Each structure stands twice: as structure tokens, then as C-alpha cells.
Amino acid sequence: MSELFQYPADDEREASSAAKVRALEALLIEKGVIGSDSVDAVLEHFETMAGPFNGAKIVARAWVDPAFKARLLADTPSAIAELDLPTGMAGAEGEHMAAVANAPDVHNLIICTLCSCYPWPVLGLPPYWYKDPVFRARGVREPRAVLREFGVDVPADKQVKVWDSSAQIRWFVVPERPANTEHLDEAQLAALVTPESMMGVAMVAPPATA
């Protein structure tokens, strides 16, 4: 029998994470490990400089510019450097990034079997379940089952590729562009892209259901 791992609802997960963050912040400040100004600086960095909004812009550009998409898949750092993003792509878990693209015949899933290597500059902070040993093990052993639990039912005739991130290479996914988005501009397309879709555990919803 497969080892089961339950993924809480978004609101439950966010409430639990927020409570833990507040408790940890208060403890660290109380013990003098950090100051409130340090916390504010970190929060500002991830709100304005490094986060999934960067990845969404990269994906949207790949959707509207096939030549850029080809460059992105061939040499991810160089292609990203072409864009006017608010943060550098080197350092802070952004070294050695590489993109893979979903297609009608292939779906990509990103995991990290060793720890929790993750491209923070383009995806933000990793969700708690990404670090869970059960997710990491089952992602390799039975990726289709894991994807179904996230609501992504990959057809039997569609290949699933699992990419293992590490300190040497950090992967992210260019999801498939949803149908009925031909009328949207690049910024509107970027608004549809979620961190989960760039990890391969979700599809990008079309505008009517986004």
C-alpha cells in the first residue's frame, strides 16, 4: 500500500504557517537573535524582490515569444538575464537554475530528494510539503499518484518526467499556456501563473476559472 500524505486546504495551510512564523519571529526577537528591523528587511525582500512574480513573468514571456522560450530551455540564466526583473538571479538559492517545459506529450514534476533545494528568486520560499520526506520519496516512486492527489490527472499516454533539484541545479517548470488566452497581454498572462504550476503540481487555469 502506498504511503499516504495529506495536503491540507490552502486556508488551513496558510493559517498554520502564519501562526508558526509569528511564534518563531517573537521568540527570536525575545532572545535577541534578530531585531525587528531584520525581519522587516527579509519580508520586504520576498515581497518586492524575490518571489513567484518573477517566475510568472518568465513564463509569460516564454508563452508569447517562442524564440525566448527556446533560449530559456537551452540556457536558463542567460535568457532570464534578458528580462528586466527586480532581483538578480544569482545567489540566494538562484544559482544554476534550469527550466523545463510542459507539452501535450509530457508533464514535468520538480522535487528535491536530498533536502529542499528550490529556486527562490523565481518561485519564492518553498512550501512546507516540498520538504516533507514522504512527498520527496513518493514523487520519485509514484509521481502520477502524487500528481492526482494535487488534482493533476495525467493521461496514461502522457509521459511524466521527474526532475531532482540540488545545489548544482535548481529546476522550474514552464507550464502549458491555457486555452482561450490569445487576447491576453503579457502582464495578464503572468497573473494566471502560480508557484504550484511552476513546480508541476498544478495546471494553469484559464481566465474564466483563474
Active site residues: 112, 115-117
Closest CA to 68 of 108, 76, 180, 93: 76
Strand partners, 110: 163
Grid cell at residue 205: 487555469
Whether 116 has a binding-site annotation, put simply, is yes
User: What is the C-alpha separation between 161 and 23, in angstroms, rounded?
Assistant: 38
Whether 115 has a binding-site annotation, put simply, is yes
DSSP state, 108? Answer: E
Distances (CA, A) of 46 to 3, 61, 122, 183: 34, 22, 10, 31
Whether 38 has a binding-site annotation, put simply, is no
Residues contributing to the annotated binding site: 112, 115-117
Residues contributing to the annotated binding site for Fe(3+): 112, 115-117
